[in-house]
């Protein structure tokens, strides 16, 4: 029921607007300029701080100070039902003055939250050990503490009709591509969803190929990683009540960089970056390669090794593809179970599943020892990938490659690789090339994909992304 058309705005009409919720505080308040109605949610606002700020504002009004309602934590705005609802639901306290048709908003939210700690999925050996939390304002504080620049721009956008979701995005004005910023802002304007609850849902609206297995936004909970990407001209996006930031636009190779690369020696960082590339190849191709060799191309193996392979698989009652699928699904079940269960029990599940059940499967003759080794190496290789979203995508990709290898051998793997490369070449992130810096070719940045370049070469250090202007084909 609306209250804007009511001749009287009192406690009763305000309570009706908020369905007389038990945690809603609505009181009449005497004011030097007339009577008002104060309302806020006790579950979101700090009542003691609200009363303190009201006393300060009342004193300013009594002294007839210009703009008496505007302080560091309060503001004055024309009264509207929509603004009233959004303000109270966001944790603000609101004083409504019917006579003057204005309302004063007071920011005195209760500070319930957790201490910034290192993200469990992005731990580093050397470097900062802080991470984002569910409060966007504190997350911005963490970024500004690491990036002291006056051209670091913070903008906010509210979307959603039923539940207002606040989107906060950051960029460095002197570095970020203006066309990319405009495109991102137009995407925000185009989202008409009534309810957006989390960053994953928002990501679906922002991505251009939602059915692709590859993520087109980089998600991180590390402030230092966000700062690094901001310095590359990218946009950092926060959804309120989410502890992670989304980075856009990104390239395929952005997902294989780790903060540890920049905190250690050049040679060490380069070695581990190359190790991740090798792990990517193993995670996708190793089971498929084994299936193709055993089923179609055993002649490429040395004679002694070929005999051992045949001896190992002779007693298995079905083809290697079924062995691989059984073990891969078994590994995924263990992984899911260890995540969902409490930590001590999850670790026990890993030991029981990996050792006891795995050994029993081999002894029962359901799978061969060689297949266990192949699948275990594949799983370990996939876990080396430092980004969770890309990690999951790579684990899914191995299944179509195994099927292609089982049907056509190396030829099937080659066809699968061709389809994969074509798909990567057609992907974009905010209309920017996903396979940058290879497509379009930027030779000055290819080296940074595979190696950690010394900081003394920082004029283009670690740049793995090439912005392409929409009209002029401009690189930046």
CA distances from 250 to 153, 406, 430, 439, 474 (A): 19, 34, 9, 13, 17
Residue with tokens 């989202």: 191
140 with 224, same domain?
yes
Whether the CB-CB separation of 250 and 216 falls below 8 Å is answered with: yes
| Out of 115-129, 201-215, 319-333, least confident range | 115-129
Peptide bond into 249 cis (omega under 30): yes
Q: Is residue 4, in this structure, part of any structural domain at all?
A: no
User: What is the count of structural domains for the chain?
Assistant: 3
Q: In terms of pLDDT, which residue wins out, 391 or 101?
A: 391
User: Residue 103 and residue 3: Cα distance in Å, rounded?
Assistant: 14
- What is the value of pTM for the model shown? 0.80
CA distances from 55 to 31, 51, 87, 254 (A): 10, 6, 20, 52
User: Residue 455 and residue 262: Cα distance in Å, rounded?
Assistant: 9
Q: How many CB atoms lie within 10 A of CB 21?
A: 12
DSSP annotation of 356 reads I
Which stretches of 70-123 are DSSP H helices? Answer: 81-89
User: Residue 213 and residue 16: Cα distance in Å, rounded?
Assistant: 47
DSSP bridge pairs for 169: 155, 237
Q: How is the beta sheet containing 245-248 ordered, strand by strand?
A: 152-159, 165-172, 235-239, 245-248, 218-220
Structure tokens at 41: 């949610």
288 with 403, same domain?
yes
Q: Is residue 122, in this structure, part of any structural domain at all?
A: no
Which of 56, 84, 106 represents a domain boundary (last residue)? 106
| Out of 108-117, 384-393, 436-445, 461-470, least confident range | 461-470
Whether the CB-CB separation of 183 and 431 falls below 8 Å is answered with: yes
228 with 370, same domain?
no
36-55 tens-digit pLDDT? 899 999 988 888 899 999 99
User: Residue 230 and residue 252: Cα distance in Å, rounded?
Assistant: 17
Q: Is residue 317, in this structure, part of any structural domain at all?
A: yes
Which of 106, 122, 146 represents a domain boundary (last residue)? 106
163 with 101, same domain?
no
326 with 234, same domain?
no
Contacts 24+ apart (CB under 8 A), 396-399: 396/213, 397/213, 397/284, 398/283, 398/284, 398/287, 398/288, 398/328, 399/325, 399/328
Average pLDDT of span 61-80: 85
Q: Smallest Cα–Cα separation from 235: which of 244, 248, 223, 225?
A: 248
Percent of the chain as helix, strand, coil, to the nearest 5: 50, 15, 35
Q: Is 186 exposed, middle or buried (0-12, 13-18, 19+ CB in 10 A)?
A: exposed
Across the chain, what does the average pLDDT equal? Answer: 84
Q: How confident is the model at residue 458 (pLDDT cuts 50, 70, 90)?
A: low
233-286 tens-digit pLDDT? 999 999 988 889 999 999 999 898 888 888 778 888 888 889 999 999 999 999
CA distances from 88 to 70, 132, 241 (A): 18, 25, 16
Q: Smallest Cα–Cα separation from 402: which of 334, 307, 322, 330?
A: 322
Q: Is residue 246, in this structure, part of any structural domain at all?
A: yes
As a whole-number percent, the residues of the chain with pLDDT over 70 amount to 90
211 with 284, same domain?
no
Q: Smallest Cα–Cα separation from 245: which of 108, 174, 146?
A: 146
CA distances from 152 to 72, 148, 169, 171, 176 (A): 21, 8, 11, 6, 10
Query: pLDDT value at position 113?
Result: 66
Q: Is residue 83, in this structure, part of any structural domain at all?
A: yes
Which of 399, 414, 429 represents a domain boundary (last residue)? 429
Domain of residue 326, residue span: 262-429
266 with 339, same domain?
yes
User: Residue 250 and residue 234: Cα distance in Å, rounded?
Assistant: 8
Average pLDDT of span 21-40: 87
Q: Is residue 435, in this structure, part of any structural domain at all?
A: no
User: Residue 333 and residue 236: Cα distance in Å, rounded?
Assistant: 34
User: Residue 253 and residue 239: Cα distance in Å, rounded?
Assistant: 24
Query: pLDDT value at position 213?
Result: 92
pLDDT of 349 over the 80 cut? no
Q: Smallest Cα–Cα separation from 400: which of 382, 380, 416, 415?
A: 416
């Amino acid at each position: 029921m609306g209250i804007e058309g009511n001749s009287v705005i009192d406690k009763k009409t305000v309570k009706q607007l908020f369905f007389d919720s038990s945690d809603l505080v609505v009181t009449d308040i005497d004011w030097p300029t007339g009577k008002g109605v104060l309302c806020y949610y006790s579950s979101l606002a700090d009542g003691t701080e609200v009363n303190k700020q009201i006393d300060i504002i009342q004193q300013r009004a009594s002294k007839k100070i210009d703009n008496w309602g505007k302080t560091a934590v309060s503001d004055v705005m024309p009264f509207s039902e929509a603004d009233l609802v959004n303000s109270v639901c966001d944790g603000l306290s609101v004083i409504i003055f019917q006579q003057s048709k204005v309302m004063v908003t007071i920011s005195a939210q209760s500070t319930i939250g957790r201490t910034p700690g290192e993200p469990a999925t992005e731990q580093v050996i050397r470097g900062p050990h802080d991470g984002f939390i569910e409060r966007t304002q504190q997350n911005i504080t963490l970024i500004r503490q690491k990036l002291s620049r006056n051209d670091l721009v913070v903008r906010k956008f509210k979307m959603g009709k039923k539940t207002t979701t606040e989107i906060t995005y950051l960029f460095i004005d002197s570095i970020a591509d203006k066309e990319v910023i405009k495109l991102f802002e137009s995407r925000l304007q185009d989202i008409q969803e009534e309810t957006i609850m989390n960053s994953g849902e928002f990501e679906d609206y922002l991505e251009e190929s939602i059915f692709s297995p590859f993520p087109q936004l980089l998600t991180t909970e590390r402030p230092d990683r966000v700062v690094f990407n901001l310095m590359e001209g990218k946009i950092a996006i926060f959804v309120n009540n989410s502890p992670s930031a989304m980075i856009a636009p990104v390239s395929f190779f952005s997902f294989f960089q780790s903060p540890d690369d920049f905190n250690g020696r050049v040679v060490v960082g380069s070695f581990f970056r190359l190790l991740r590339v090798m792990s990517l190849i193993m995670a996708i191709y190793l089971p498929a390669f084994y299936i193709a060799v055993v089923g179609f191309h055993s002649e490429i193996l040395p004679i002694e090794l070929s005999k051992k392979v045949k001896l190992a698989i002779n007693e298995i009652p079905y083809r290697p593809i079924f062995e691989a699928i059984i073990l891969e699904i078994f590994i995924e079940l263990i992984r899911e179970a260890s995540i969902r269960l409490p930590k001590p029990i999850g670790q026990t599940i890993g030991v029981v599943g990996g050792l006891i059940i795995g050994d029993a499967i081999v002894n029962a003759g359901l799978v061969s020892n060689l297949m266990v080794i192949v699948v275990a190496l594949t799983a370990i290789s996939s876990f080396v990938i430092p980004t969770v979203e890309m990690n999951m995508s790579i684990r899914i990709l191995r299944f179509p490659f195994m099927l292609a290898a089982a049907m056509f051998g190396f030829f099937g793997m080659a066809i699968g690789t061709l389809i994969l490369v074509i798909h990567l070449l057609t992907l974009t992130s905010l209309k920017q090339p996903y396979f940058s810096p290879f497509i379009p070719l930027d030779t000055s940045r290819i080296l940074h994909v595979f190696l950690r370049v010394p900081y003394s070469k920082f004029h283009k250090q670690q740049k793995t992304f090439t912005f392409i202007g929409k009209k002029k084909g401009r690189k930046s």
